[in-house]
Amino acid sequence: MPSATRSNVIKHTDLTKGSIWRSLVNYTLPLLLGNLFQQLYNTIDSIVVGNYIGKEALAAVGSSGSLISMFVSLFMGISVGAGVVISRYFGAKRYEDMNKTIQTTIAFGLISGIFLTILGVTLTPIFLEWMGTPESVMENSVLYFRIYFLGIIFTLMYNFGSGMFRAVGDSRRPLYYLIVSTILNILLDLLFVAIFNMGIAGVAIATVIAQAVSCVLTYMTLIKDDAVYKLNVKDIRMHKDYIGNIIKIGLPSGIQNAIVSFSNVIVQTNINSFGDNAMAGCGAYAKVDGFALMPSGSFSMALSTFVSQNLGAKQYDRAKKGAIIGLGLTMAVTQIIGIFIYFFAPQVIPIFNSDPAVVEYGTMMARNVVFGYFLVSFSHGMGGVLRGAGLSKVPMFVMIGCWCALRIAWLEIMVPLTNDIHTVFWGYPLTWLISGIIFIIYFLKVDWLHKKEL
Which of 394, 270, 432, 359 minimizes the C-alpha distance to 55?
359
Sign of the CA dihedral running 379, 381, 385, 387: positive
Q: Nearest to residue 361, comparing CAs of 155, 79, 59, 127?
A: 59
**Residue 217 near residue 158, CB atoms below 8 Å:** no
pLDDT value of residue 114: 93
Q: What pLDDT was estimated at residue 10?
A: 38
Give the integer Cα–Cα distance in Å for 25 and 242.
31
Break the chain into its structural domains and give their ranges.
Answer: 16-445
C-alpha to C-alpha distance for 30 and 27, rounded to whole angstroms:
6
Return per-residue pLDDT of the chain as tens, 454 residues: 333 333 343 345 667 888 888 888 888 888 788 777 777 766 776 777 777 776 666 666 665 566 666 677 777 778 878 888 888 788 788 888 888 989 999 999 999 899 989 988 898 888 777 767 777 777 877 888 889 889 999 989 998 888 888 888 787 888 888 889 888 988 998 899 888 888 888 888 998 999 999 999 999 988 887 777 788 888 888 888 888 888 887 788 778 777 777 777 788 788 888 888 888 888 888 878 888 888 898 899 889 889 988 888 889 999 999 999 999 999 999 999 999 999 999 999 998 878 899 899 999 999 999 999 999 999 999 999 998 888 888 998 998 899 989 999 999 999 999 999 999 999 999 999 999 999 999 999 998 888 765 4
Report which secondary-structure segment, H or E, holds 328.
Answer: helix 316-348
Residues 6+ apart with CB under 8 A from 81: 245, 246, 247, 248, 249, 250, 251, 253, 254, 387, 392
What integer pLDDT is reported at residue 342 of this predicted model?
95
Q: Which helix (H) or strand (E) holds 37?
A: helix 20-52
Fill in the DSSP letter of residue 172.
Answer: S
Please work out, in degrees rounded to the nearest 5, the angle formed at the alpha carbon of residue 283 by the alpha carbons of 432 and 29. Answer: 60
What does the chain come to in residues?
A: 454
3-class secondary-structure state, position 199: helix
Contact of 319 with 386, CB cutoff 8 Å: no
